[in-house]
Amino acid sequence: MFLQFKREVEHVLKAALDKASYEHRALELETSEHADITSRIAFSLAARYRKPPAVIADDIVRNISIPPANRTLISEVAAMGPYINFYVSDSFLNATLERIKAGNTVDVDKRDTKIIIEHTSANPDGPLHIGHLRNAIIGDTLARVLKRSGYRVETQYYVNDMGRQVAVAVWGVSRFGLNTDKKGDHAVADAYIAANRMLESDATYQSEVEALMKRYETGDEAVMKRYEEAVQRCLAGIKASLHRLNIKHDLFVFESRFVRTGDVARIIEELKRKGELKYEGSAIMLQLEGIDKELVIQRRDGTSLYTTRDLAYHRWKSARCDRMIDVFGKDHELVSQQLRKALILLGVKVLPEFVIFEFVSLPSGSLSTRAGRYISADELMDKIEERAYEEVDKRRSDLSEDKKREIARIVGIGALRYDMVKVSPEKHMIFDLEEALDIEKKGAPFVQYAHARACSILRVARDEGITVPESADLSLLRADSEVALIKKLSTFEYVLENAARELKLHPVARYARELAELFNIFYKNCPVLNADEELRAARLVLVECTMRVLHDVLSVLGIEAPEEM
Partner RNA sequence: GGGCUCGUGGCUUAGUCAGGAUAAAGCACCGGCCUUCUAAGCCGGGGAUCGCGGGUUCGAAUCCCGCCGGGUCCGCCA
Minimum CB separation of residue 299 from RNA in Å reads 4
Query: Torsion-angle region of residue 233: left (phi > 0), alpha (psi -120 to 50) or beta?
Result: alpha
* CB nearer RNA, residue 95 or residue 255: 255
Tell me how far, at minimum, the Cβ of 284 lies from RNA, in Å: 9
Which of 255, 70, 55 has its CA nearest to residue 156?
A: 255
Please, what is the minimum distance in Å from the beta carbon of residue 520 to RNA? Answer: 4
Q: Is 279 helix (H, G, I), strand (E, B) or coil?
A: strand
The Cα–Cα gap between 335 and 310 comes to 10
Shortest distance (Å) from residue 403 CB to RNA: 11
Spatial distance between the Cα atoms of 63 and 66, rounded to a whole number of angstroms? 10
Nearest-angstrom CA–CA distance, 229 and 170: 9
**What are the distances in angstroms from CA 53 to CA 18, 24, 83, 205, 480?**
17, 14, 8, 75, 32
The CB-of-216 to RNA minimum distance in angstroms stands at 11
Cα–Cα nearest to 448, from 496, 409, 479, 420: 409
Nearer to RNA, 311 or 388 (CB): 388
Three-class DSSP category at 287: strand
Nearer of residues 152 and 403 to RNA, judged by Cβ: 403
Helix 533-556 to helix 506-525 angle (10° resolution) is 160
| Closer CB to RNA, 15 or 460, in the complex | 460
Measuring CA to CA, which residue among 237, 128, 123 is closest to residue 185? 237
Angular region, 262: left φ>0, alpha ψ -120 to 50, beta rest: left
Question: What's the CA gap between 97 and 454, in Å, rounded?
Answer: 15
Q: Which is nearer to RNA, 200 or 331 (CB)?
A: 331
Which CB sits closer to RNA, 114 or 504?
504
Phi, psi for residue 45 in degrees, rounded to 5: -75, -25
Give the sign of the dihedral formed by CA 506, CA 508, CA 509, CA 515: positive
Backbone angles phi and psi of 246, in degrees to 5: 70, 35
CB of 147 to RNA, least distance (A): 22
Report whether 273 contacts 165 (CB < 8 A).
no
Q: Lay out the sheet containing 152-159: strands in order across.
A: 251-254, 152-159, 114-118, 323-329, 352-357
Min CB(362)–RNA separation in Å: 11
The residue (of 179 and 424) whose beta carbon lies closer to RNA is 424
E strand or H helix at 133, and its extent?
helix 130-148
- How far apart CA 477 and CA 459 sit, in angstroms, is 21
Contact 136, 128 (CB under 8 A): yes
Closest approach of RNA to the CB of residue 383, in Å: 15
Closer by beta carbon to RNA, 80 or else 182: 80
Nearest residue (CB) to RNA, 182 versus 336:
336
* Minimum separation from the CB atom of position 389 to RNA (A): 9
CB closer to RNA out of 179 and 467: 467
Q: Minimum distance between the CB of residue 54 and RNA, rounded to whole angstroms? A: 11
- Secondary structure (3-state) at 266: helix
Contacts with 303 (C-beta within 8 Å, 6 or more apart), sequence order: 213, 214, 217
CB closer to RNA, 283 vs 348? 283
Nearer to RNA, 350 or 439 (CB): 439
- In whole angstroms, how close is the CB of 422 to RNA at the nearest point? 6
Question: Nearest distance from residue 268's CB to RNA, in Å?
Answer: 13
